A = this chain, B = another copy of it.
Amino acid sequence: MSVTAPAGFTAAGVAAGVAAGHKPAGAPDLALVVNEGPSLAAAGVVTTNRVKGAPVLWTEQVLRAGAVSAVLLDSGCANACTGPLGFQDTHAAVERAARALDRNAAQIAVAATGPMGVRPALDRLLPGIDLAAGQLSEFGGERAARAIMTTDTQPKTAAARGGNGDGNGGGSGSGTAAGWTVGGMAKGGAMLAPSLATLLVVLTTDAEVPAPALDRALRAATRATFERIDADGVASPNDTVLLLASGASQVTPDADEFAEAVHAVCADLARQLVKDADGATKEIRVEVTGAAGEEAALTAARAVAGDALVKAALRAEDPAWPRVVAAVGASGVAVEPHRLAVAVNGVQVCRGAAPADDPAAVDLRFREVTLAVDLGAGDCSATVWTTDATAAAPRPTHHPAPLPTSHPHPRAESV
C-alpha cells in the first residue's frame, strides 16, 4: 500500500518539529516521496482557489514540464497567504531538498498543510529535509502517509494492481513481471471538517505512462472522487493531487485499465477521507436523480450535502426531509415539485414534495445514511459524499458538541 507499493519509489516520514503545537511531539510531520525512475513522468491537479499557497504556486511551475523526481510534503505550515516571502521560503526548502537528494530543483514538487498566514519555520524545515533524505526507503510509504496527517485520526493509503499483477497491493515495492501497480496516500479533505483541511494526495505508479496520459487519467479520477466529497465547493488554497510514474515495471498499460486503477485508488482514498472527517458521526451519501443535466444533478447534490441544517438534523437522527426539499429548491437547478421525491435510508418519506411514508420508519442509528433525491426534471444523476461535521461542531474529543434533542416539531424543519 501507499506510495511505495509500486516499484521505483522510495519515501520517508520524519519528525522535523514543523508541526509543533499541532501534532504530538515525535509524530512525523515532514515527508519525501522520491521517484527513482527510470521515468519521471508526472501530472497534477491543484486547487481552483484564486489564492494559492506558495507550495501550489511552485508545484504548478514544476508540473508544466511534466516531470517530477520528488515530492516534499509537510503538515506544519500551509505557507498560504504569506506573499513573496513565503514563496522564497518554499524555494529555499526545494533547493535544500535538491541538494539533499542530488536532484534538479525544477523537478521537485511541494505540498503543504497547516496554518495559513504564517511563514514556515525554516530552522526546523530545512534540517528536517536532510533527515528525511537520509531515511528514504522502499518501505517508507506508510510513514510518509503518517507525516502528512493533520486532523486525520488514521493515515490513508491505497493500492491497486493491473496488467498480469496478482491483484494484491503488495507492500515491498517489488512489481511482478508484466504487472504494474498504482499506490497512493492522502490526508484531509476539503469541506469535510471544521478545519476545512487541505486535500493532499500523492499517487505513484510503476507503469510506463507518459505525462499527458497521466494527466487525463488523474483529472477524470479526481472529478469523480475527490471533487465529489467537497460538499460546499470551497477549495483550500493548498489542495494538491499528484500522480508520479516511475516506469519501473517496464509495462505500458492499456489506457482504460490504467484509468480504472487510478480511479480505484482515488475512490478508496476518498472513502477513507469521508470516514475520518473531523467531528463526523454520520457519513452521508447524497444521490440525486431526475436532474435535467449532470451539472444540475451535482449542484443539487452539493446543495443538500452542504446544508448545515440537513447535517444538524441527521446528527440528531431526524430525517428532516423538508430541509432536503428546501435545499434542492434553493439550489437554482430545475426541480418539478409535483414529482420531487426523497428517500432516507430506503424509506420514501416524500413524494411530490409532500409527506409520503412515515419518517418514523427511518432507522438513523447507524453511521451510514443515504439521502436519495429525485428532482423529477430529467434523466441525469450525481452522487456526493459528505458527513455531519460542521465548523461549529468541533471534534467531540476537544469540544463536546451539544446534540439537539428530539422535538415533536423539530426546529430544523421550521422555516
Which A positions have Cβ atoms within 8 angstroms of B? Answer: 21-22, 48-53, 78, 80-86, 113-118, 150, 194-198, 233-238, 303, 307-309, 311-312, 315, 321-323, 325-330, 333-335, 337-338, 340, 350, 352-355, 390-394, 399-402, 404, 408-415
Contacts and interface: CB of A to CB of B under 8 A. Distances in A.
Contacts of A83: 338, 352-355
Given A80-B326, A390-B390, 7 more contacts: A50-B330, A81-B354, A116-B323, A118-B355, A194-B309, A234-B326, A237-B326
A74 B354 CA distance: 20
B390 A327 contact: no
A116 to B, nearest CB: 3
B194 A81 contact: no
A82 B404 contact: no
Contact of A113 (B48, B235, B414): B414
B392 A330 contact: no
From A233, A394, A409, name the one whose CB has the most chain B CB atoms within 10 angstroms: A409
A82 B353 CA distance: 7
Task: Please give me the 7 A-B residue pairs with the lowest Cβ-Cβ distance, nearest first.
Answer: A83-B354, A51-B329, A116-B322, A308-B391, A392-B392, A117-B322, A399-B402
A283 to B, nearest CB: 17
Contacts of A408: 21
Given A51-B326, A81-B325, A322-B81, A411 B355 contact: no
B390 A391 contact: yes
Contacts of A234: 303, 307, 326-327, 330
A289 to B, nearest CB: 16
Given A48-B330, A85-B354, A355-B81, A392 B312 contact: yes
A415 B117 contact: no
27 contacts: A22-B414, A49-B326, A50-B334, A50-B335, A51-B328, A80-B322, A83-B338, A83-B353, A85-B354, A114-B409, A116-B325, A116-B413, A150-B414, A194-B309, A194-B312, A194-B411, A195-B411, A234-B327, A234-B330, A236-B326, A237-B325, A312-B391, A312-B392, A390-B390, A394-B411, A399-B402, A399-B404
Contacts of A21: 408-409
Which has the most chain B C-beta neighbours within 10 Å: A325, A328, A335, A399?
A325
A325 B400 CA distance: 29
A196 B415 contact: yes
Contacts of A115: 322, 409-410, 413-414
A315 B401 CA distance: 15
Contacts of A84: 354
Nearest to A340: B51
A339 B222 CA distance: 31
A355 B118 CA distance: 8
A151 to B, nearest CB: 8
A327 B235 CA distance: 8
B354 A78 contact: no
A51 B81 contact: no
A26 to B, nearest CB: 18
Contacts of A235: 329-330
Given A81-B350, A390-B391, A402-B394, A414 B326 contact: no
A78 B414 contact: yes
Contacts of A150: 414
A401 B391 CA distance: 12
A113 B150 CA distance: 43
A393 B353 CA distance: 28
A348 to B, nearest CB: 14
A323 B411 CA distance: 29
B309 A51 contact: no
A38 to B, nearest CB: 35
Nearest to A303: B234
Centre residue among A53, A404, A411, A415 by max chain B CB count within 10 A: A415
A411 B399 CA distance: 13
